[in-house]
Structure 1
Amino acid sequence: MRFLTALTLLLAVPVLGIIGSWALLDAQSGAVLVHQLQTVLPEYAWTSLLLSVSVAVGVAVVGGATAATVTLFEFPGRRFFEWALLLPLAMPAYVLAYAYTDFLQYSGPLQTALRALTGAQGAMLPDVRSLWGAVMLFVACLYPYAYLLTRAALNERGVQLLEAARLLGAGTGRRVRQVALPLARPALAAGVALALMETLADYGVGSYFGLSTLTTGVYRAWLVMDDRIAAAQLATVLLAVVALLLWLEHRAQRALRFATTRPGNLQSQEARPVPLTGGRRLVAWAVCGLPVLIGFALPVAILLGLLWQEARHAELGLPWARFGQWAWTSFKLAGLGALLASALALALAYALRVRPRPGLRLAARVASLGYAVPGAVIAVGILIPAGGLQSLWPASGASVLVTGTIFGLLYAYLVRFTAVALQSVESGYARIPTSLDETARMLGTPRWRLFLRVHLPLLQRSALAAGLLVFVDVMKELPATLVLRPFNSDTLAVIAYQLARDERLSEAALPSLAIVAVGLLPVLLLSRAMRQR
């Protein structure tokens, strides 16, 4: 138990390293901090704030509207949209950025066609590589967070309460405004908070679009200015904002309890979704169809077109022979990360079940915070302690171990994604009655045998789901991998970013599509689980 507690606390070292870096603040570092406050930090903070507020509004509007439409109303295609609205979850934001940049830029097919049609010479559309373009992309791929939670909340009691309001004489608009929206507010707030954490953690879109956000500032301070203290200070600001969002998300999740007093599968025949006719059906199709089109269907079509274009000129483009190496590196890292995270989650969840000591429970909660920490913060938080250990003990080889081998990457993946695996395994344990444990103890079964013979067979689906989720998250992870990867260990995400950064968008299509294809697996499993429920 002590070893497991120490291992889980080890996952908190990057965050503690960021916070502890303020102890290294000296006169020179203080001058750099003042210089940051007077020059770049206001711009970083203002851009991040403007981006976050705009994404929050967009995610709330799109996620709330789509959830209310498929939950409260009946129209042709409703069953299709229930799962299709989850598809943008498989699309990383930086892949969307690559696809739409090629499609909407001055030399892209859309503006070329518009100029040919109108005879104009200048740009026909505003530059997508801007703040408004980033907002559009983040909303398109992150609204499913709000959609998923809001739909779950409305499924529990929304239809019944709307039916009761109808019987009391309330019109459709009043029912939605005074019943559905207040009911979904906590779930909507939780979904928006999750979307904002993903927005603040992003590096690919901000770097590719040239935005001055807190996350891109961390990388510029570390890689361009070669100032680890400045990077740590910016990472601390980002960490404080994410901690605030995490607190708001937990608070909103606690408020969801008022919507679960009766299971949603006990709906009466009278409490069915309201049928839509005529023009209202068109509105419902537009509300549900546009997010799927913009967030998944159109970018996939753009990437397939780029891939076909590149395949016709293969001798000039992507070195196809090396694609297998990049794919193998990605799958190897994702597989190892998923295996280690799932094993740690199983051990931790079992220990919390059989002997829930306060220290172990605290360590588990600390380890669970890692998923909310951006990859940029984790990378800096790993490099600072490693550099400090290397300077104090040169023979340790800490810096080489972190950046010269896959150890640093696997450590970052465990810090970032153990919480994902732990949540899945704990949900599986919640379905196993404690009476099985008591019966096994009465029969004299050792604890190790209880886990192997009783718990593990019952946790197979949860463990596989945990491993799959971590596998996909590692495949999509960019910031920490970009900094900590060893030489000649590029992943699909890194290669796609580098090719797109060099304006070789056609060549970036293949690794981008591979990432999207892998990301579809948990989305399909999630939609299947929701239908079974």
Structure 2
Amino acid sequence: MLIAAGALLPVVVLAGFAAQGSIGLWPHLLRNVLANALGQTAILLAGVGVIVAVIGTVTAWLIAGFDFPGRRILGWALALPLAVPTYIVAYAYLDILHPVGPVQSLLRDLLGYSSPREFRLPDIRSVWGCVLLLGFVLYPYVYLPVRALFATQAANLLEASRTLGAGPARVFWRVVLPLARPAIAVGMALALMEALNDIGAAEFLGVRTLTVSVYATWINRGDLPGAAQIAIVMLLIVVSLVLVERRARRGQRYAGGAHRLLPLSRTRLRGASAVFAALVCALPVLVGFAAPAAYLAHQAWRRVVHAGIPPRIWVEAGQTAALALVATLVAVGLGLVISAAPRLRPSPATRAAARISTLGYAVPGTILAIGLLPVITFADRQISGVLGWFMTNAPQLLLLGSGAALIHAYVTRFLAIGTGGIEAGMTRIPLSFDHAARSMGQSPTGVFRRIHLPLTRASMAAAGLLIFVDCVKELPATLLLRPLNVETLATHLYGEAARGTYEDGSIAALLIVVIGMLPVALLSRGIRA
């Protein structure tokens, strides 16, 4: 229950802080801020939702149901865009598709033009450019669960539909899509929450979303109550997304039969069909991962050859790793408690607290930062006042300056990942193990220490790696809560991109991508298994 209270604290404080703002501020917000921000946010979410659903479902079905050249490589490569944060993709494509960048320069040479004034592509700095880039980066949130669902549940139903005379197209529309609905809904909800939480890509591409408006209202105008009121609107949108996703699956059951599930038999494609399937699966990998990763590697190599590796990058990498490691250890430890408590001390209160404690994943980093800042500053004042009795120069920003506020935000935001991963491992431990241990005199703590901990080590390691990488990539909360004079790889890249010095930020971006590839490899291995 204490963990649940810590997760709810930023939201409660945010609501109270927003209530302190002037009611007369709302007409101004509605007229000058929310009208434009809500419109662009709605277009962004609708466009990204359609793209991730189409790409994720189609590619998952092609990989799971058909055999064609390159299928094995593309099967795991389709998850690689998860390794690239959205703001890094925007950062890369701003240079790749610049009027004097490599793509447009090559097109002008091929078409016989000599100047960007004679020929240039539409500017990527638009809401539609942002929709396309975010869609091609976030589709793995749909692809991974849909592919896993096809691999475990689809075979028996597909065989039954084929024996009843249904062709491939009818099987897809009448069986495959309805079967994939829960996985598509969950994946879309996660992708849309990530799109709503994005600040770097939207700002780089000139899109005025609610998240960008919150940041600008707080940092540029110094209006924290106004930023809190806009954040409340964001929170309502996030809650609505979660409720719509759950309502869409209300009363539906997708369990397989009690008989043994058959492996899904793949249809062999040949000729033009095989080439088309390979191209359909390769295009998202090329746009969402290969092109930006190749650009970053090239730019980083140029930077190293001409100016060497900047010494500060290693300091920033160390600061990034230290903050992420501490947050990961705390999140995994709390995730163990949340996962084990309903099993060892089952009660309605325990189960409700466990669910509440994982709601932070649905709260964008900007909202967490605004909700935590007043609490942290109040605690810093109290601590400084107490320390003032014992020392002359008592520290004024002990929690904020030490990174405790940022670690709290990381833990609250990604605790659901740790809890979900550990719970997945703990559900595989039969209850008979617990009963046998209790009959031999073990207390609940002893069962947890001697049974659950050893048998969930693999799940803890996988969950911890995912949390670590997400902390490394996180940008909105890091921008707002990092200690003074502390830069992470993400904030370093954000600063270089804001100044237009893309080459100087390429090394930091490449390091983030390399780190992000670790959990993708684990996810792909788990899917194959």
Matching residue within 434, 439, 463 for 2:460: 463
State the Cα distance separating 1:146 from its structure 2 match.
Answer: 1.0
CA contact (8 A) 1:206 1:212 kept: yes
| Distance of aligned partners of 1:95 and 1:261 in 2 relative to their CA distance in 1, 3 Å threshold | farther
Separation in 1, partners of 2:255, 2:122: 43
Q: AA paired with 1:385? A: V
State which of 430, 434, 442 in structure 2 corresponds to 1:433. Answer: 430
**Do structure 1's residue 87 and structure 2's residue 80 form an aligned pair?**
yes
- Structure 2 unmatched runs, 5+: 387-393
Contact 2:41 2:209 in 1 (8 A): yes
Cα distance in 2 between the residues matched to 1:495 and 1:70:
38
Q: How many percent of aligned residue pairs carry the same amino acid? A: 42
Residues 353-432 of structure 1 aligned to structure 2 (within 5 Å): 353-387=343-377, 395=385, 400-432=397-429
2:478 to 481, 492, 501: 481
Match of 1:167 among 163, 170, 179: 163
Contact persistence 2:381–2:396 (CA under 8 A)? no
Task: Identify which of 506, 525, 528 aligns with 1:528.
Answer: 525
**Where does residue 246 of structure 1 map in the other structure?**
242
Counterpart selection for 1:75 from 50, 61, 68: 68
Say whether 1:326 aligns with 2:335.
Answer: no
**CA drift at 1:164:** 2.6
Provide the C-alpha distance between the structure 1 equivalents of 2:278 and 2:380, rounded to a whole number of angstroms. Answer: 59
**What is the correspondence of 1:186-335 to structure 2 with a 5 Å cutoff?**
186-252=182-248, 257-261=253-257, 265-267=261-263, 272-314=265-307, 320-335=310-325
CA contact (8 A) 1:345 1:418 kept: yes
SS in 2 for 1:12: helix
- Encode CA deviations 1:273-303: one digit per residue, 9 max, x unaligned: 2221221111101110101111111111111
Structure 1 position 51, deviation (Å): 0.6
Paired with 1:420 and 1:157, the residues of 2 have a C-alpha distance of 24
Aligned residues of 2:8 and 2:357 also touching (Cα < 8 A): yes
Does structure 2 conserve the Cα–Cα contact (< 8 Å) formed by 1:187 and 1:256? no
Letter in 1 for 2:400: T
TM-align CA RMSD: 2.1
Q: CA deviation at 1:162?
A: 2.8
The CA deviation at 1:422 is: 0.8
Deviations 1:64-95 (A, max 9, x none): 11011111222222222221111111111111
Of 241-250 and 427-436, more deviation after overlay is shown by 241-250
Q: 2-side partners of 1:394 and 1:198: how far apart?
A: 37
Q: Is the 8 A contact 1:86 1:527 kept in 2?
A: yes
Letter paired with 1:515: I
Corresponding residue for residue 119 of structure 1: 113
Closer, same or farther in 2 for the Cα pair 1:335/1:264, shift >3 Å?
farther
Deviations 1:210-266 (A, max 9, x none): 211000011111111111111111100100111111223344566774153368852
Aligned: 1:13 with 2:21? no
Q: Give the residue type in structure 2 aligned to 1:481.
A: T
Q: What is the CA distance between 1:190 and its match in structure 2? A: 1.9
**2 CA distance for matches of 1:349 and 1:452?**
13
Q: Which residue of 2 aligns with 1:144?
A: 140
| TM-score after normalising by structure 2 | 0.93
Does structure 2 conserve the Cα–Cα contact (< 8 Å) formed by 1:138 and 1:199? yes
Is 2:48 the counterpart of 1:58?
A: no
The answer to whether structure 1 residue 336 and structure 2 residue 333 are counterparts is no
Is the 8 Å Cα contact of residues 89 and 142 (structure 1) preserved in structure 2? yes
Residue 441 of structure 1 and its aligned partner are, at CA, apart by 1.6
CA distance in 2, matches of 1:408, 1:154: 42
Work out the CA distance in 2 between the residues paired with 1:508 and 1:256. Answer: 48
Unmatched 5+ stretches in structure 1: none
Code of the residue aligned with 1:349 in structure 2: it is S
The SS at the match of 1:463 is helix
Is residue 2:452 matched to residue 1:452?
no
Query: Separation in 2 of the partners of 1:340 and 1:184?
Result: 35
| Residue pair 1:155, 1:264 contacting (<8 A) in 2 also | no
Distance 1:433 1:338 in 2: 27
Q: Judge conservation of contact 2:434–2:447 (CA < 8 Å) in 1.
A: yes
Amino acid at match of 1:378: L
